């Protein structure tokens, strides 16, 4: 499994375990929401609403050990599992510090 696919799988686990969004095979018949495919628009598909979005942000912070500031929130970064995986990968990447030459 590639790193990107592995990260997508981990984020799908966040949806299943922390947000109680289940894969079709694991959910009762009366529970309509399932773990989304990597390219499904989570907002248009009705998987994520405003409350679920806040829970998602908190769950990502807890699971991957980083903080998300208000200034870096771009809704398009959270539209799909694939976009979320890219965002998480960027947050986990080592930050390059610039040192000014004086």
- C-alpha pair distances (Å), 82 with each of 15, 33, 46, 77, 99: 13, 18, 17, 9, 33
Give Cα separations from 1 to 4, 36, 68, 91, 93 (angstroms).
Answer: 8, 19, 27, 21, 19
pLDDT of amino acid 99: 59
Which tens digits make up the pLDDT trace of 5-64? 899 999 999 988 888 886 544 445 555 456 778 999 999 988 899 999 999 999 999 999
How far apart are alpha carbons 11 and 13 in whole angstroms? Answer: 5
Query: Looking at per-residue confidence, does 99 or 10 come out higher?
Result: 10
pTM: 0.78
> Which pair of tokens denotes residue 40?
């499904």
pLDDT at residue 16, rounded to an integer:
86
Mean of pLDDT values over 62-75: 94
């Amino acid at each position: 499994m590639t790193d990107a696919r592995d990260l997508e799988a981990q984020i799908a686990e966040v949806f299943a375990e922390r947000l109680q969004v289940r894969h079709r095979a694991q959910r009762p018949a009366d529970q309509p929401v399932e773990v989304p495919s990597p390219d499904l628009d989570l907002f248009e598909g009705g998987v994520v609403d405003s409350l679920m979005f806040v829970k998602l942000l908190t769950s990502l912070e807890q699971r991957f050990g980083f903080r998300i500031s208000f200034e870096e929130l771009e809704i398009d970064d959270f539209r799909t599992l694939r976009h979320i995986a890219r965002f998480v990968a960027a947050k986990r990447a080592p930050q390059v510090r610039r040192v000014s030459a004086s």
